[in-house]
């Protein structure tokens, strides 16, 4: 069959499609990479999609179109931390009779690629998609594999015809010579199998490998050359590496894969992650491995055209007390990190001085750079709800257990404090990840966990200088009651701060009801206030200040974000911030006088009773009223 010949011959066009990315201006993004492959499993073909170029953790829609018509409902998935997706679904029945179906992957960018027609796929009874033989090892693997020899069966020799009856004779039973035991090569490292074909499943083409060898590491950069000149072509080839590990300790592991063009990592028979593209940027994932058991790795690779290379490794995080930092010489996390460093401090405090100690002279203050920071993290005190805060003067993002908490922070004009409420446990450990892109002059990045107290919605960053310069010394919450009331006098707010020349940056969100809200402020020395990033008070100077700011909510309710700065220069120190909500108006309750019902009497002369005016009930004070309404008295 032609389809079977295409598969066995490795002609990529009939089974796998490496699309030319088609960016869509409507999605406002740049071009990405898309790979569409057909994978047989059991008696079903599956469509396997790997795509790159999306925003981290954004929602991505996958649909199949024939012309302008969507032939199946769209699938939805979420991009990984590096903006890649990997998705599989059964080959739809609606597409089996069509030959011009396009796979459309849409998010912040839009990529299209053709779906291999169902008619060119080999039937399952004739399809040959064979996995290469695997070496089975044990804690003490033998150098050869024992194979049971085949025993020949001895049969009787028929008696020759003779007119004279003679006793039957038997051919004596003979003992066969032993069959040689076949020997299989033992690979102490990675068993590498190389094929001169491109496969439906990366690294699993039909047929036997052209070359099998022992590879100490999977770390190759072949550029535009062959992995084995004379045996393997320079383009359109594939490889498969397998290995079993017994010595891995239980715990978290960071796995890193970069490849040009297409690679998939499987662990214990299940897909761990994959990559398709031509940039060779690192693709990372973390996984907790159980101890006291073996783990089987399988790394499959396809090289389509151009430059070729693959690098796969893993590492166990050094310690839960340390921050692991990958440094990039650009602000977009592009390419390979030029340096990996470890910060052993419990706190994360990065400024220009600590960064110079971290990266020597490879990062300069006037050039953009980016840092990818990871660590295992636990609740600093008891398990419970915390504000996890970043103080940063540039672009930053933060994930906890692969869930994004802070996204697209852009604080270039002035540093800002960003906090999100989440739950932290003591065990198991959380996976914390921070991305920092530096484009401005000063380097500032600090991480601060703050225990949540339901009655303390104000969060303050305290500085040991009067200008809010550098990183805060500490971050903490403050009492609510609608007020910030502090009378420090000649004392310091905290032993970590001086009595004079300190400053505080406060933030909180408030839900305001309809009406005019009043903020009364008294400060010694300077203050300034923003409501939803709009400056409403600027008294940033030495002296005593007493100010009133009003803010009107025209709708029924509105949530606003407040930022409030304070500094103390010298002498007495005090700060009062009071919020007075609008006074609600009472709607009087009308008193209804009931009309009496005239009942007939047996008397001949009807008697009409007088109207009875009942005593109205006393109206007591309600919470909505500022002045209680006195009890009503009956008319005399």
Q: What tens digit of pLDDT does each residue of 341-369 get? A: 778 788 899 888 777 766 656 677 778 88
Provide the greatest CA pair distance for the chain.
156
For residue 389, pLDDT beyond 90 = yes
Percent of the chain with pLDDT over 70: 71
Query: What does the pLDDT read at residue 414?
Result: 76
Averaged pLDDT for residues 24-35? 48
For residue 472, pLDDT beyond 60 = yes
Indicate the average pLDDT of the chain. 76
Comparing 309 with 587, the larger pLDDT belongs to 309
Confidence of residue 119 (pLDDT cuts 50, 70, 90): confident
| Strand 534-539 versus strand 458-463 pairing type | unpaired
Confidence of residue 15 (pLDDT cuts 50, 70, 90): very low
Q: How far is 203 from 264, CA to CA, in rounded Å? A: 9
The three-state secondary structure class of 450 is strand
Lowest mean pLDDT among 130-144, 264-278, 558-572: 130-144
**Residue 307 tokens, joined:** 């430059």
Averaged pLDDT for residues 383-390? 94
Lowest mean pLDDT among 216-220, 324-328, 492-496, 599-603: 599-603
Averaged pLDDT for residues 325-354? 81
For residue 156, pLDDT beyond 70 = no
For 2-120, CATH gives 2.60.40
Strand order in the sheet with 295-303: 211-215, 190-195, 237-245, 295-303, 262-267, 270-276
Q: How far is 532 from 547, CA to CA, in rounded Å? A: 19
Comparing 248 with 337, the larger pLDDT belongs to 248
For 317-451, CATH gives 2.60.120.260
What is the radius of gyration, based on Cα positions, of the chain?
A: 38
For residue 500, pLDDT beyond 80 = yes
Query: What does the pLDDT read at residue 132?
Result: 41
Query: What does the pLDDT read at residue 39?
Result: 74
> What stretch(es) of the chain map to CATH 2.60.40?
2-120
Comparing 59 with 13, the larger pLDDT belongs to 59
> What stretch(es) of the chain map to CATH 2.60.120.260?
190-315, 317-451, 453-586
Comparing 169 with 47, the larger pLDDT belongs to 47
For residue 410, pLDDT beyond 50 = yes
For residue 496, pLDDT beyond 90 = yes
Confidence of residue 290 (pLDDT cuts 50, 70, 90): confident
Fold observed for domain 190-315? Jelly Rolls (2.60.120)
- What residues contact residue 604 under an 8 Å CB cut-off, 6+ apart? none
Q: Decide: pTM greater than 0.75.
A: no
Lowest mean pLDDT among 87-101, 132-146, 157-171, 353-367: 132-146
Averaged pLDDT for residues 80-95? 81
Query: What does the pLDDT read at residue 20?
Result: 36
For residue 203, pLDDT beyond 90 = no
For residue 524, pLDDT beyond 50 = yes
**Residue 514 tokens, joined:** 């309809």
Domain 453-586 has CATH 3.40.50.2300: no
For residue 90, pLDDT beyond 60 = yes
Q: How far is 511 from 517, CA to CA, in rounded Å? A: 11
For residue 54, pLDDT beyond 80 = yes
């Amino acid at each position: 069959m032609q389809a079977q010949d295409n598969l066995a011959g490795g002609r990529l066009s009939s089974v796998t499609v490496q699309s030319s990315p088609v960016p869509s201006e409507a999605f406002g993004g740049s071009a990405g990479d898309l790979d569409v492959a057909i994978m047989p499993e059991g008696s079903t073909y599956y469509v396997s999609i790997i795509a790159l170029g999306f925003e981290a953790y954004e929602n991505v829609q996958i649909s199949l179109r024939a012309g302008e018509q969507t032939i199946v409902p769209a699938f939805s998935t979420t991009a990984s931390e590096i903006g890649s997706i990997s998705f599989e679904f059964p080959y739809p029945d609606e597409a089996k009779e069509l030959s011009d179906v396009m796979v459309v992957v849409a998010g912040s960018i839009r990529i299209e690629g053709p779906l291999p027609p169902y008619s060119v796929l080999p039937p399952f009874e004739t399809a040959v998609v064979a996995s290469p033989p695997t070496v089975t090892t044990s804690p003490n693997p033998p150098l050869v594999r024992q194979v049971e020899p085949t025993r020949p069966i001895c049969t009787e020799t028929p008696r020759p015809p003779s007119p004279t009856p003679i006793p039957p004779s038997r051919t004596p039973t003979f003992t066969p010579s032993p069959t040689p035991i076949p020997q299989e090569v033992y690979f102490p490292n990675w068993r590498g199998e190389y094929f001169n074909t491109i496969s439906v499943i990366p690294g699993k083409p039909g047929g036997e490998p052209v070359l099998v060898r022992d590879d100490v590491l999977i770390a190759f950069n072949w550029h535009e050359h062959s992995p084995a000149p004379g045996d393997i072509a320079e383009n359109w080839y594939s490889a498969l590496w397998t290995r079993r590990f017994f010595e891995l300790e239980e715990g978290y592991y960071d796995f890193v894969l970069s490849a040009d063009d297409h690679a998939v990592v499987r662990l214990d028979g299940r897909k761990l992650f994959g990559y398709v593209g031509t940039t060779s940027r690192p693709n990372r994932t973390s996984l907790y491995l159980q101890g006291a058991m073996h783990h089987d790795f399988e790394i499959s690779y396809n090289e389509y055209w151009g430059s070729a290379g693959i690098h796969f490794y893993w590492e166990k995080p050094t310690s839960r007390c340390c921050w692991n930092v990958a440094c990039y010489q650009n602000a977009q996390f592009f390419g390979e990190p030029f340096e990996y460093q470890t910060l052993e401090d419990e706190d994360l405090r990065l400024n220009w001085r600590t960064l110079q100690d971290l990266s020597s002279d490879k990062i300069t203050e006037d050039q953009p750079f980016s840092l990818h920071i990871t660590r295992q993290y636990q609740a600093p005190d008891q398990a419970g709800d915390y504000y996890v805060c970043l103080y940063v003067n540039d672009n930053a993002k933060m994930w906890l257990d692969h869930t994004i908490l802070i996204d697209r922070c852009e604080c270039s004009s002035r540093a800002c404090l960003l906090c999100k409420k989440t739950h932290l446990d003591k065990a198991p450990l959380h996976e914390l990840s921070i991305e920092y892109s530096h484009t401005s002059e000063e380097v500032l990045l600090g991480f601060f966990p703050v225990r949540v107290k339901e009655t303390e919605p104000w969060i303050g960053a305290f500085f040991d200088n009067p200008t809010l310069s550098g990183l805060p010394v500490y971050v903490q919450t403050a009492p609510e009651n609608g007020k910030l009331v502090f009378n420090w006098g000649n004392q310091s707010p905290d032993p970590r701060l001086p009595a004079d020349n300190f400053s505080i940056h406060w933030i909180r969100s408030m839900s305001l009801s309809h009406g005019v809200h009043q903020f009364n402020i008294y400060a010694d020395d300077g203050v300034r206030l923003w409501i939803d990033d709009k400056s409403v008070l600027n008294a940033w100077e030495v002296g005593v200040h007493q100010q009133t700011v009003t803010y009107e909510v025209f709708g029924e309710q509105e949530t606003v974000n407040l930022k409030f700065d304070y500094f103390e220069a010298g002498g007495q120190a005090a700060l009062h911030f009071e919020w007075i909500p609008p006074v609600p108006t009472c709607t009087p309750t009308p008193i209804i006088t009931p009309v009496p019902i005239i009942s007939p009497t047996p008397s001949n002369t009807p008697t009409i009773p007088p109207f009875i005016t009942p005593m109205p009930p006393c109206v007591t004070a309600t919470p909505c009223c500022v002045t209680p309404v006195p009890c009503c008295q009956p008319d005399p």
